Structure 1
Amino acid sequence: MRNLYQLISTNNIYSKLQALLMMLLIVTISTTPSYSAEGQNMNTVRISLTVKNERIKNVFKLIEQKSSFKIGYNSSVFNSERMVSLNANNQPVVSVLKQLLAGYEGSVQQVDEQHILLKVELQKPVEPAQPRQSQSAAAIRVTGSVKDEEGLPLIGVSVAVKGTSKGTTTNDNGQFELNVEPTDILVFQYIGFNSQEVAVKNQTTIDVVLKANNQSLREVVVVGYGTQSRSTLTGAVGTVGLDKLTSRSFRNVQEALQGKAAGVTVNNNGGDPTATPQVNIRGLGGINGEQPLYVIDGSVFYPGTPTTNPNDIESISVLKDASAAIYGSRASGGVVLITTKKGTKGKLSINFDAKYGIENAWRMLQPLNAKEYADVYNTATDAAGRDRLPAFDATLYPDGQITRTNWMDEIFRTGQMQDYNLGLSSGNDNSNFYMSFNYRKGQGILLNTFSERYAYRINSDHKVNKWLKVGENLSFSNTNGRGTNTFSGYTGAIQAAIFYPPSITPRTATGAYSGLPVEYAGSYGDVVNPVANLERIDSSNPINTIIANPYLEATLLPGLKFRSNYSITKVFNYYKNFSPIVPEVGKPVLTNTLSEASGNENRFLAEQTLNYTKTFGKHNFDVLGGYTYQKNSTQGLSASLSGFGNEDPLFRYFVNGTGDLIKPGDYRTEEALISYLARVNYNYDGKYLLSLTGRRDGTSLVAEQNRFQNFGSISGGWVVSQEEFMQPVTWLSNLKVRASYGVLGNLSSVSTTAVSPNLASGSLYLGADPTLLNGYYSYDRANSNLTWAKSKQTDIGLDLGFLNERITLNADYFIKNTEDMLMSIPAGIGLGNVWVNGGKVQDKGVEVSLTYNSAPGKDFHYSINANLSKLNNKVLSLPNDYLTTGSSPSVRGLLSPIRIQVGQPLYSYYSIKTDGLFQSQDEVDNYQSSNGTVIQPNAKPGDIKFVDYNNDGKIGDDDRQFLGSAYPDFTYGLSFNASYKNFDLNIFLQGVQGNELYNALQYTSWNAGGLGQNYNLLNDVLDAWTPQNTNTNVPRITATDANGNFGTNSDFYIQNGSYMRIKNVTLGYTFAPRVLSKAGISSLRIYSSANNLFTFTKYKGFDPEVGFDNYGIDVGRYPQSRAFIFGINLTL
């Protein structure tokens, strides 16, 4: 069998040429303008407008000028030349539009803050009225009101006499009056509501209640390789509301997902500005923590995360169940579908958004001051029966009693953030474009840390003729940043700030960094001045990403479309780090080193799909078929050199180094994937739903005989609310039950060398008379039987809508079994690791989403969105009974609390349980085994009491128990949006519940003798146990740890990691259009925003969001910041 990568490379030469020609074509034709603007809530923005016999397209332009909206519609079904008259006085934009759309049915949708879309078509003509008799009854004047089912008045309802052009509209109070004849029939029409006819007869008062037509159920949701109506959707697909997200400043797309969708867990890996959050959909999935597949306008990021400017995002859909099978082997961790903004029909619109903010730490842990420092260590040596240290003797070292520096104040700062976004949009009936520029820079709250982003995008679409459409999405981003080590128990910047004596200033009188005096150095003496530690950082990691995404779409026959989509991605990485001489520590570093690395990544994806839609009576079909292929390759080179006599930044280049060049390193990888896909969606009369999905993937990453694998899913639904017997239940607007099952694949973590290891050069003595021979060897071992991991997913869902979709509820119960997990295990002595399949993990849970929208009021409107997820994770089988991690997760590698074992959640804490502190010597002596042996003979009052779990009369590793994990049982989010006249308010809170964190910072920051150190401690130790202070959990202060208070892996370190954060509060004000129109401004909004305003948690560390990349073990992680932002949004 030919190598799969070579096979694809040969077959795809024509595709590269085709993609290149298409890009040249699109660049040529995509310069036709289009439009986009930033707007507010169409229910609250009010305008006054009077026109008489004016073309409706011109009236739309007047509305655009007077409001902050741009209006889009399908010119093929909407007569923009129709003449209309209107008299609206201070009415909401939505009401004005609905008055203009009398005679049409459909919906008026605000698709984002910028655009209103008119999804309407002409109503079926009403039956003409019978000709009136020449001698009719006397005309009468009819008055009345029109309300919705909640009793709220409807403004701008069309009230017309059937068969005539005579009519009126309801006023601001929903009232109308009209001269009619007793034989007339009044027709009441309002967009979003069912029409109603009322015979006048002899009535002089007619009050009407219109029923909503549930247009929200016609919402289109982005799914894999297309869109689907929400009403006929059978899969578990979450959509992320982007309303007001532009008021927040995000470093990445993942931050925008946190707390916004049920079943989506986003773990911030600390607050370092260069950190990337970890996203898991419906649990970890497997031993490697499955990450979702990201698809942005057809460009696939897997493995990897997108660098898209969040300001460009139009919508986000999350495929959470087996519906993701359309993406096959890459979808077991779920799929995040991101659609960026497009241009829409209208004049050129320019939108500028600027944000400036400040950030600081929301919580600060404090070290001891100089006097407390000395007192604590004197207490510690006294308790141990040792002589006091000279450093803490005021008669020998009086300067040591004077507090000169709070090191926390020295390393933490108020960071500044700036974020600017410029968007241009325009279009006509044939072409449109959207273009954006973005610059964002944020200082970290620790010295000398930052993140920076430049981004550019242009999206365009061009209608060549009636059957052919082409377009492209082009984007460029440059990201850079500088973080710092706060996850090491050895050299973390925050640890150093705790350790360093408060009697020392950051710099000496000469300006040099102060070192650690020998009196404090202890047996290690390698703690670096924390200010120097941060200010000396000289590293950069610019990453340039270019993505070209051209496409062609042809309508071959009615209902039959062909789409050819390409994605070409180039990523360029560069890394540079200079490590200077550090002369001022007890163990000085006397050699400086320059390290550089560069690499690039190439991704090519081609997708050819056919889509056919057809309706036969009440039978509706949507059929998709396609073929895709993808190639990824990477390569890179790294080198290091030492011996720089001059450390000035101008001399930090290899040419100036005098040391030996360390042997350069390099890497090169290639992989390929080809796929065949199909999907059939069927529904009968919108009631009975069925979806079948299949995909066959072939990959170069696994053994040849296992390269091709089939994946698929089946789902069905029943829209109960559409049944005839449900029609009398008017308060229930939607009831749908659905279920799905499917098998998906996973290769996310497997190395490209798993079945074909790299070779390295080496030497070996061979022969009876040994001779040194040079050759090549493979360090890693190949697995010729390696195959795909598989994820079998089941989902049962319920969708409910009440009061015409003003209240919606979506609930799902799911089970996800991941089998044949991919894991890297030791291959044997003298060999590296080998990739194998083995084990099974189950994730199951429940997720609920709830929305509520108040009825549109004259001035006030609000909505509430909430989501909650409950998750249980369990290891069902493993190649061995248990696995331990290879990480060194805590200070000096002494504590290893993580274990993976059958019957337990992944990455559980496996530690000894404690039972408080001993309060007396009698309690110590009476803590005995069954044979009378004292279990903790070295304990003293104030020491920790450990539980002898196995009852063997001693404390040891066999007493460990499973005590929870860092992965939460519950995740939730709650958003409240409100608007009053020109003001808008958004409050968003997010949290997790039921997880534990391992606060390993206590090992060094509470321990007065654990490392042979004399380092400073946190002021928590002032609450340590004494005979006078017994109601505490802080062990007694002592310079020895004979009982193992700190050296024992116990739940002394395990704390409740649950938290609830008021993640964001935004208050905005939009200026009235009449104030701005004279200056040529379409809209102007100012706003202020606060991020991480309040945090409620019982966790005692710096911050509960320590991340899952180190299994929840916290040794002083970079904390999240609290930010205050001011912004302005201007549209011309």
Structure 2
Amino acid sequence: MNLISKKQIIIVISAIMLFPLFSSPAYANNIIYEKYQDKRITLKHANTPIKSIFASITSQTGLKFIFEESVLEKVKNISIDIKNGTLNGVLDEISKQTGLVFRQNDNTIAVSMGTIQQQTVQVASRQTGKISGTILDISNEPLIGVSVTIKGTTKGTITDEDGKFHLEVPENDILVFSYIGYETQEVSVKGKSAINLTLIENLNDLNEVVVIGYGTQRKGDITSSVASVKSENFTKGAVKDVGQLIQGKVAGLAISNPNGDPTGGTQIQLRGNNSIGGANTNPLILIDGIPGSLSTVAPEDVESIDVLKDGSAAAIYGTRGTNGVILITTKRAQGAQINTVEYNGYISTSKIANKLDMLSASEFRELYPTEDHGGDTDWLDEITRTPLTHVHNLSLQGGTASTNYIANINYTSQEGIMKKSDSETFQGRIQVSHRMFDDKLQLRFGILGKKNQFASTNNAGSWNGYTYRQATLHNPTDPVRNADGSWYENVNKFEYENPLARLYECYGNVKNTDIRFNGSIIYNPIKDLTLSAVMSYNRQNRNHGYSETRNHISALRDGLAGWSSVGAYTQMEKLVELTAQYNKQINVHKFSVLGGYSYNETDFEDMYFSNYGFQDDYMGGWHNIGAGSALKNGLADASSTKKTSNLIGFFGRATYSYMDKYLLMASLRYEGASQLWGTDNEWGAFPSVSLGWRITQEAFMKDQNILDDLKLRIGYGVTGSQPSNGFMGTAMVKYGGYAYVNGKWVKTVVPASNANPDLKWEEKKETNIGIDFTALKGRFSGAIDVYNREVDGLLFEYAVPTPPNLYPKTWANGGKLQNRGMELLLSGIPLMSKDFEWNTTVTFSTNSNKLKSLSGSVFKTEYDYFDTGTAEYSGQVTGSHRVQVGEKIGNFYGFKVVDVDDEGKWIYLDRDGNRVPYDDFTHAPEDKHMIGNGVPTWYGGWNNSFRYKSFDLNITMRGAFGFQIINAARMNYENTKNSRVENRLKSVTDKVFGKTQLSKSVEPEFNSYYIENGDYWKIDNITLGYTFNNIGKYIKSLRVYGSVLNALTITGYKGIDPELEINGLTPGYDSRDRYPTVRSFTLGVGVKF
């Protein structure tokens, strides 16, 4: 596929590469962190020495300046007049007048002239000696800008780009080495001429910033259940989308990869299922505050991912927060700095991770000699290939003291393991920010463009999993083609098709484009007050076409002479959010107040058209869809829709901290949605409150030296769920059949729904109690949470009488659902030295749900259960799951077999618990039992990273336990009653219950024999890398690595993969129609220039 031309790629790359040239500053860059940007500085000096100006800044901010006297001697007196300016703005002005460069390190600012150069500081009062050295981090990378000062003075220097420093120091003095994020070290210079140090990262950083709803919060002040994963802890190697970056790393967050389709994404569920079908069940995903999906941005472009897990954290998002909130923060330029370029790319190939053990041609002939058709075909091999995937990501960032940018372009070409399953994506993103008016006003603008296309062997979809089913069941003695070159087909046998013909007698393509604009204005009119406005516009377009030729099995069977469809949709989403936040600290009291308004509007339009009866395969098809005869015969299909929805919210939050010991957060969102238009409950209120107690700040904890921090949290929050469809409480009509009126056939209009003015949000009330701790100077940390969720007013479609109702079903609120669970996160660094380091993280979570009721005060169900799902065997279909009051979601419901008799016939357990032989069993629905559950009881994860000198090894593992799986493959391919033309599993000859082979007179059916233990433990990712530092003049570092994805699965399950879909009401069903999971092998490189 040619998604874009080479010329287009060159133009885009050239434009991004040239951008730094036009934005480069005319003066040296300053490195100033945002930690002190809320400090306001007033200066009014005329012809004043620079040291006096530094002293004035120190008195107002507490920041210390370190400098070399020889540098300041070259600076003339300056005049400066700034009122209530920011630190960045003040230093920017000084830099313009003097050429000085400032580099901040926590509460210290190092001063140098022009670019960072090493000079010798003369201290003449005592005998001095020259000291030099190199400062590295634990990975042996040089640390730039480390503050090196003589203790008790302002004399000192900073390390250069190679981590080196030079200084003249009195022989008995002490040097202090400090760097933000690292532990400060003091070293005596007595008897030394060189000091080489490795600084250790400060692991107990309670000042680390965590992204929360509509802002950030210091880690030590968090009172809700919030998980944060930074880029350095992401899954290494090849990943499909952003979700896989944190797979197994957040307790309570289940992320599943149920297939190997290159167009398929990961599935995600937080703290269990929270609905029974009338509401959205996916977490809210925000990318830099803007709604999106896990595939919106490239994984290489993500800086951090924060997960708001409990109600008190998510309540500020109201009706969108019931299933949790995932906040994705993309990479940004960090203040003014030298322009940098980074490239990351990899190539990978894959193979099917596990195959069903089907009969070979020779084994099939031995068992079924009369069905030998003379061929020897491995049908799975015929439809698969050795694929190649390559990914390229280029990132650039830089700017000036007032303007900075980051740009990212990504190209991904994926071949699936199945033939005709390809995906190609090109995307680019640029984010620019600019400060003005002494940094009181900040403007940000971003644009993301994405084009994707993939091959289609399914109407409006990607790869058709039904083709995989045909490859598994097809007779291995069937040839692929007849002697005349035509496909070998059995047209008269239903659901038996040549899988290769299915692939090559159809063709299709799906094209997606996504363009996203976002901008924000941040204004600080006075100290401690921040006003902001965020606006975004997102437009998604999808165009798809699909055709089946005149030789496709469907055309041969149905006589359609080819079939085609074409369709498209457009979705536009607009967002405006206004916020005001005031932060204040008065002695030991810290508080903040946030207020805001949000407006979100979504417009959706689509169209679809299908036709058949084409004269040939070249002049027809979806590119010339009007050529089919079905159109002129009035048998073509056409449809179109248009939908508009909006969501309006007013929200507020207040936080309070006393002595950094007692913490409080409360929020409220008042929200209305068009989905409930026409009801009496369009608006709803969603409050939350949470408390925190930092126990280690108490006097009785001061003498212990094990725990660095121990915090108790308790929170309560209310969130809602929007109805999955609009206007569910409004009476609506639709077109029905035709009626003969006044001599003409006319289209009728019939009821489509009943009015229900009492329809409202599903409402989730959640209580969460948690403990956070760090120990042994940050070497070990963890969190424990227990929660209880009660979802009230579950949306359900109730059967109602007609009349008086116009429609036989009505949507209403009635049921109640409960989720309870516990989550554990433990992280530690068991071993750490200059050459070797081991980081490990363990996650563990449990979840138990129960449907407490199905009926409400007005609308009631006839029964306290309903059946759902499908179990398919030999062309027959039956229900697979039952949702019942008092039981868990995900229960299998079917016949229970406990043995076989001497003839190999089932012995059942009936409704009364009696053993009933096969010939006497009536197969009545009342004799079915709950025979398993497809929802894991608990999940676990274990992630390890090792570093030895310049080598790094990362191993991620995870598992799910306490659940069962319906093995549809065994249900169909172990049965001897099926038509002999179909292939079988080799286990078809195995003894059932260890007694005898299943009787050929037994009809295929869904029963408990085909339910298996689904427990599994996966080694998800193994990545080994090596980093080369400072290669030549322009390359800062180069990392090469190799990785294996989906390396090993430990399980007793007999299917191809126990990891299945986790959402919805029918978990644990392993369908025969699927895209098998794959094991990938990757070679990659990352270069920092």
Map 1:370-769 onto structure 2 (within 5 A): 370-377=361-368, 391-392=370-371, 400=373, 404-466=376-438, 467-482=440-455, 492-516=466-490, 524-582=493-551, 588-591=557-560, 592-648=562-618, 652=622, 653-660=624-631, 662-702=636-676, 703-755=678-730, 757-760=732-735, 763-764=738-739
User: Residues 451 and 512 of structure 2 are in contact (CA less than 8 Å); yes or no, is this contact kept in structure 1?
Assistant: yes
Verify: 1:1105 aligned to 2:1059, yes or no.
yes
Once the two structures are superposed, residues 903-936 of structure 1 have per-residue CA deviations (whole angstroms, 9 ceiling, x without a partner) of 1111311223332433579x999x9999999821
TM-score (norm 1): 0.77
Match of 2:843 among 867, 874, 878: 867
User: Residues 679 and 756 of structure 2 are in contact (CA less than 8 Å); yes or no, is this contact kept in structure 1?
Assistant: no
> C-alpha displacement at 1:607, in angstroms?
0.4
Higher mean Cα deviation, 799-808 or 529-538?
A: 529-538
> C-alpha displacement at 1:565, in angstroms?
0.3
Match of 1:890 among 861, 872, 880: 872
User: Residues 625 and 677 of structure 1 are in contact (CA less than 8 Å); yes or no, is this contact kept in structure 2?
Assistant: yes
Q: Tell me the distance in 2 between the aligned counterparts of 1:915 and 1:932.
A: 11
Verify: 1:82 aligned to 2:67, yes or no.
yes
User: Residues 297 and 549 of structure 1 are in contact (CA less than 8 Å); yes or no, is this contact kept in structure 2?
Assistant: no
TM-score (norm 2): 0.80
* CA 1:832–1:366: 2 relative to 1, 3 Å: farther
Verify: 1:1036 aligned to 2:985, yes or no.
no
* CA 1:531–1:211: 2 relative to 1, 3 Å: closer
User: Residues 234 and 246 of structure 2 are in contact (CA less than 8 Å); yes or no, is this contact kept in structure 1?
Assistant: no
* CA 1:893–1:320: 2 relative to 1, 3 Å: farther
Higher mean Cα deviation, 472-481 or 628-637?
A: 472-481
User: Residues 294 and 306 of structure 1 are in contact (CA less than 8 Å); yes or no, is this contact kept in structure 2?
Assistant: no
Match of 2:99 in 1: none
> C-alpha displacement at 1:537, in angstroms?
3.7
Match of 1:364 in 2: 355
Match of 1:337 in 2: 327
User: Residues 230 and 303 of structure 2 are in contact (CA less than 8 Å); yes or no, is this contact kept in structure 1?
Assistant: no
> C-alpha displacement at 1:807, in angstroms?
0.5
Once the two structures are superposed, residues 373-415 of structure 1 have per-residue CA deviations (whole angstroms, 9 ceiling, x without a partner) of 244347xxxxxxxxxxxx34xxxxxx64x55111122123222
Match of 2:987 in 1: 1020
User: Residues 613 and 622 of structure 1 are in contact (CA less than 8 Å); yes or no, is this contact kept in structure 2?
Assistant: yes
* CA 1:359–1:167: 2 relative to 1, 3 Å: closer
SS of 1:821's equivalent? strand
The residue identity in structure 2 corresponding to 1:541 is V
Which structure is richer in relative contact order (CA contacts within 8 A, separation 6 or more)?
1
Q: Tell me the distance in 1 between the aligned counterparts of 2:909 and 2:199.
A: 79
Which ranges of structure 1 fall in alignment gaps of 5 or more residues?
A: 1-26, 37-54, 61-69, 87-116, 125-133, 149-153, 202-207, 379-390, 393-398, 940-952
SS of 2:1008's equivalent? coil
Higher mean Cα deviation, 956-965 or 863-872?
A: 956-965
> C-alpha displacement at 1:342, in angstroms?
1.1
> C-alpha displacement at 1:1061, in angstroms?
1.3
* CA 1:932–1:250: 2 relative to 1, 3 Å: closer
Match of 2:966 among 987, 990, 998: 998
User: Residues 552 and 564 of structure 1 are in contact (CA less than 8 Å); yes or no, is this contact kept in structure 2?
Assistant: yes
Which ranges of structure 2 fall in alignment gaps of 5 or more residues?
A: 1-14, 40-60, 72-102, 111-123, 138-142, 191-196, 856-860
* CA 1:164–1:1019: 2 relative to 1, 3 Å: closer
Match of 1:312 in 2: 301
Once the two structures are superposed, residues 1043-1097 of structure 1 have per-residue CA deviations (whole angstroms, 9 ceiling, x without a partner) of x5x32x3211211122111111111122231x332xx323222111110011111
Q: Tell me the distance in 1 between the aligned counterparts of 2:213 and 2:383.
A: 47
* CA 1:750–1:224: 2 relative to 1, 3 Å: same
Q: Tell me the distance in 2 between the aligned counterparts of 1:458 and 1:166.
A: 39
User: Residues 679 and 759 of structure 2 are in contact (CA less than 8 Å); yes or no, is this contact kept in structure 1?
Assistant: no
> C-alpha displacement at 1:234, in angstroms?
0.3
Q: Tell me the distance in 2 between the aligned counterparts of 1:421 and 1:358.
A: 18
Match of 1:936 among 871, 895, 917: 917
Match of 2:797 among 824, 827, 851: 824
Once the two structures are superposed, residues 156-204 of structure 1 have per-residue CA deviations (whole angstroms, 9 ceiling, x without a partner) of 99684545859999xx9xxx999767xx899786766777999999xxx
* CA 1:797–1:512: 2 relative to 1, 3 Å: same
Higher mean Cα deviation, 730-739 or 966-975?
A: 966-975
Match of 1:63 in 2: none
User: Residues 766 and 789 of structure 2 are in contact (CA less than 8 Å); yes or no, is this contact kept in structure 1?
Assistant: yes
Match of 1:328 in 2: 318
Q: Tell me the distance in 2 between the aligned counterparts of 1:857 and 1:326.
A: 43
Higher mean Cα deviation, 496-505 or 887-896?
A: 887-896
Identity of aligned residues (%): 28
The residue identity in structure 2 corresponding to 1:348 is N
The residue identity in structure 2 corresponding to 1:1084 is L
Match of 1:961 in 2: 929
Corresponding pairs, count: 970
Match of 1:878 in 2: 854
Q: Tell me the distance in 2 between the aligned counterparts of 1:615 and 1:779.
A: 58
> C-alpha displacement at 1:801, in angstroms?
0.5
User: Residues 436 and 457 of structure 1 are in contact (CA less than 8 Å); yes or no, is this contact kept in structure 2?
Assistant: yes
User: Residues 1087 and 1127 of structure 1 are in contact (CA less than 8 Å); yes or no, is this contact kept in structure 2?
Assistant: yes
The residue identity in structure 1 corresponding to 2:663 is L
User: Residues 568 and 607 of structure 2 are in contact (CA less than 8 Å); yes or no, is this contact kept in structure 1?
Assistant: yes
Q: Tell me the distance in 2 between the aligned counterparts of 1:191 and 1:593.
A: 65
Match of 1:1127 in 2: 1084
The residue identity in structure 2 corresponding to 1:869 is S
> C-alpha displacement at 1:1038, in angstroms?
4.2
Q: Tell me the distance in 2 between the aligned counterparts of 1:565 and 1:167.
A: 42
> C-alpha displacement at 1:643, in angstroms?
1.2
Match of 2:1021 in 1: 1064
Match of 2:1012 in 1: 1055
* CA 1:667–1:1001: 2 relative to 1, 3 Å: same
* CA 1:963–1:465: 2 relative to 1, 3 Å: farther
* CA 1:886–1:793: 2 relative to 1, 3 Å: same
User: Residues 1024 and 1037 of structure 1 are in contact (CA less than 8 Å); yes or no, is this contact kept in structure 2?
Assistant: yes
SS of 2:718's equivalent? strand
SS of 2:332's equivalent? coil
* CA 1:827–1:475: 2 relative to 1, 3 Å: farther
User: Residues 618 and 685 of structure 1 are in contact (CA less than 8 Å); yes or no, is this contact kept in structure 2?
Assistant: yes
Q: CA RMSD in A?
A: 4.6
Match of 1:847 in 2: 823
The residue identity in structure 2 corresponding to 1:846 is M
> C-alpha displacement at 1:494, in angstroms?
2.3
* CA 1:163–1:434: 2 relative to 1, 3 Å: closer
Q: Tell me the distance in 2 between the aligned counterparts of 1:185 and 1:275.
A: 60
Once the two structures are superposed, residues 46-73 of structure 1 have per-residue CA deviations (whole angstroms, 9 ceiling, x without a partner) of xxxxxxxxx9989x9xxxxxxxxx9999
SS of 2:564's equivalent? strand
User: Residues 379 and 499 of structure 2 are in contact (CA less than 8 Å); yes or no, is this contact kept in structure 1?
Assistant: yes
User: Residues 34 and 425 of structure 1 are in contact (CA less than 8 Å); yes or no, is this contact kept in structure 2?
Assistant: no
